[in-house]
Amino acid sequence: MLFLLAIVLTSAAMLGAERLPLFDLSEQQRSILYDIRLPRILLGACVGASLAVAGAGLQSLLRNPLAEPYLLGVSNGAALGTMVAFVFFQSLEITRPLLAFAGAGLATIAVYRMAKSRAGMNVERLVLSGVIVTTFLSSIIVMLTTLLDAAKLRSFTFWLLGDLSQATVNGVYISLGAVIVGTIVLMSQARALNLMMVGERDAFDFGVEVGRVRMLVFGAASLVVGAAVAASGSVGYVGLIVPHLVRLTVGSDNRLVVPFSAIVGAIFVVFADTIARTAIAPRELPVGAVTALIGAPLFIYLLRRN
Amino acid sequence: MNSNTTAEPIRPMRVVTDDLDRKVTIPTNVTRVVSLAPNLTESIFAVGAGDRLVGVTTFCNYPEQAKQIGKIGDTMNPNMESIVALKPDIVFVSTASQIENFTKTLEANGIAVYVTNPTDLAQVFKSIRTLGDILGTGDTASLVADALEQRVAAINVALRDLPQSGPMQLDDGRVRVFVQISREPLFTIGSGSFLNQLVAAAGGISTTAEIPSAYPKISKETAVALRPGAIILSDSPDNKEPNDAFKNSYAVKEGRVYTVNADLLSRPGPRLVDAMEQVARYLHPEKFK
């Protein structure tokens, strides 16, 4: 798998709007490679890994194959946070991810609070709350877009569709830090998640601190999704499809599903973004459009197979 | 509306042809006008008929008097009810896309819809004369259009025999220009934009004239390879400096980065000549001393 990731990263680095020779790069070509292409590929890998591990963690936690950052309002919370940074603050590199993380966290807490009843936590209620929070946040986002002037609206729309073109070296550090921390947290909870997939009752009997696991998984998901959305907007389908593909290959043990999701997610987004960068060069497509084009048919295929 | 029992005197009407070759029946004496585009609003004021405007869009911010006129929504989403309530004789529309949706409704209410979408300087001048004719201010319109044409001619004269002074110039002395519409994501002008022509008329050559669509988002890799000799920023809050992709470009290193008011650049109206003069002065200051 890591070998495949290496191949995808290398071929992505060789492909782009401008053709680069393998050796003897001029100063200008070096700038294209190191300042523009590589940060973007690395950011794509971080974003893909983030969305996929968040999807894997949430699906196991909620025992629901459809659970993923978008459905549960995490992504829209992050999108709204980013948008607030966009509209009300001079979108500094650090305000965006911070507000995105805050938005993702608040949305998750809101969904969780709504879903929690005296009888405990019921998965159907949780998904329903997620849908409600998602649509509510969407409507706020739409309302805010009407406040943007035409120029801001254009760049925001592009960002909303998922766009990796704004990759910067600092942005890569932020995303890389978030995805490493988030993956480690999820890995540390992998055994507990395995037990929770059987059922919360059983997990509880096995001595799993269900409430703590839930907090950690939600927190990690908010962290990685916040960083991913702040960096690249809404790249869809990654959190939904990648964990499914991984489970088909390695089974449902989260000790394998989480790390493999990270790798496959990175491969998927870097591959999609390479298409986005080259298909209509020198113009570009938003990467979210490409992941949806690949992801939607793939998902339908997976559904029919099961 | 169409009953003949009213005692109103019948208004003399005439038929004019718009840019889409539609036959439009309008009163000979037009008194109430709605404009659905800022460039048309500017042109209507320029030909001395601003006082007939009873409704404009929220984008119409020039001249100053335009801000006092009632707003009927923005160019993309004009409010039909507001327009009909204003009882205009004629509504000026700038795009064919706006027209299909509400031409029927407007015409059912006895309101004429006139489409004019100038996309280059020659068409702007023609559009100004036509507006003057429709609004009964043909003489003023002719004077305005003549004066604008003279200013363009003066720029052409000034830009004769350009010296080959910089490394980023063509053999005929024209400067390689990159027009940046938005810094992040990086939007520029493409083959569908009238601004390539404006840059050429101002003694430059647009480096992105071949890229399809009017305002493409382009790859930063391509931006690095374009090597512009000058960068024109369309002024907006998020477009105050060139994209980082240009940090090593001749334009940035030599300080040849210029800002032009976005409204001047984006509106094919009378102020397009102002934009052309500004760009010409920026590109060839030695010719305008």
Q: Express each pLDDT in A37-52 by its tens digit.
A: 999 999 999 999 999 9
Cβ separation A18–B236 shorter than 8 A: no
Kindly state whether B168 is in contact with chain A, defined as any CB-CB distance less than 8 angstroms.
Answer: no
- pLDDT by residue (tens digit) across B123-176? 999 999 999 999 999 999 999 999 999 999 999 999 988 877 666 677 788 999
Local structure of residue B289 (DSSP, 8 states):
-
Q: B248 in contact with A at a CB cutoff of 8 Å?
A: yes
Tell me if chain A has a CB within 8 Å of the CB of B164.
no
Residues of B in contact with A284 (CB under 8 A): 217-219
- The nearest CA of chain B is from the CA of A298 a distance in Å of 28
The answer to whether B219 faces chain A, any CB pair under 8 Å, is yes
Q: Mind listing the pLDDT tens digit for each residue in B234-278?
A: 998 778 999 999 999 999 999 999 999 999 998 999 999 999 999
Better pLDDT: B148 or A153: B148
- Three-class DSSP category at A139: helix
Give the model confidence (pLDDT) of A263-284 as tens digits.
Answer: 999 999 999 999 999 999 899 9
Measured CA to CA in angstroms, residue B257 lies from B199, B204, B249 at distances of: 14, 14, 11
Selected residues 136-175 of chain A with any CB under 8 Å from a CB in chain B: 149-152, 154-155, 158-159, 163, 165-166, 168
Cβ-nearest to B222 among A18, A159, A166: A18
**Sign of the CA dihedral with B219 first, then B224, B229, and B230 last:** positive
Q: How far is B218 from chain A (nearest CA, A)?
A: 4
Closest residue of chain A to B227, computed from CA coordinates: A28
Interatomic CA distance for residues A289 and B217, integer angstroms: 15
Q: Do B248 and A31 touch (CB under 8 A)?
A: yes
What secondary structure, in 3-state letters, does B156-173 show?
A: HHHCCCCCCCCCCECCCC
Q: Which residue of B has its CA nearest to A279?
A: B219
DSSP state at residue A281: T
**Residue B89: half-sphere exposure toward Cβ, Cα within 13 Å:** 17
- Give the predicted TM-score (pTM) of the model: 0.88
Q: What is the arithmetic mean of pLDDT over A145-167? A: 79
Task: Note whether A31 contacts B224, CB cutoff 8 Å.
Answer: yes
Q: Chain A, 22-61: which have a CB under 8 Å from a chain B CB?
A: 27-28, 31-32, 35-37
> Six-digit token pair at B160?
């004769």
**What CA–CA distances, in Å, run from A202 to A58, A127, A199, A210, A213?**
18, 22, 5, 10, 14
Amino acid letter at B204?
A: G
If you compute the radius of gyration of chain B from its CA atoms, what whole number of angstroms results?
21
> Distance between CA B179 and CA B189 in Å, rounded?
6
Number of H helices and E strands in chain A, helices first, is 14, 2
Check A283 against B217: CB less than 8 A apart: yes
Least confident residue range of A162-171, B35-44, B228-237, B242-251: A162-171
pLDDT at B184 over 70: yes
Q: What's the average model confidence in pLDDT over A107-132?
A: 82
- Residue B96: which pLDDT band, with cuts at 50, 70 and 90? low
Classify each residue of A283-297 as buried b or exposed e, where b means 16 or more C-beta atoms within 10 Å of its C-beta.
bbbbbbbbbbeebee
Q: How far is CA A73 from the centre of its chain?
A: 12
Rounded to 10 degrees, what is the CA torsion of A258, A259, A264, A269? 80
pLDDT recorded at residue B216: 93
DSSP, collapsed to helix, strand or coil, labels residue A16 as coil
What 3-state class would DSSP assign to B15? strand
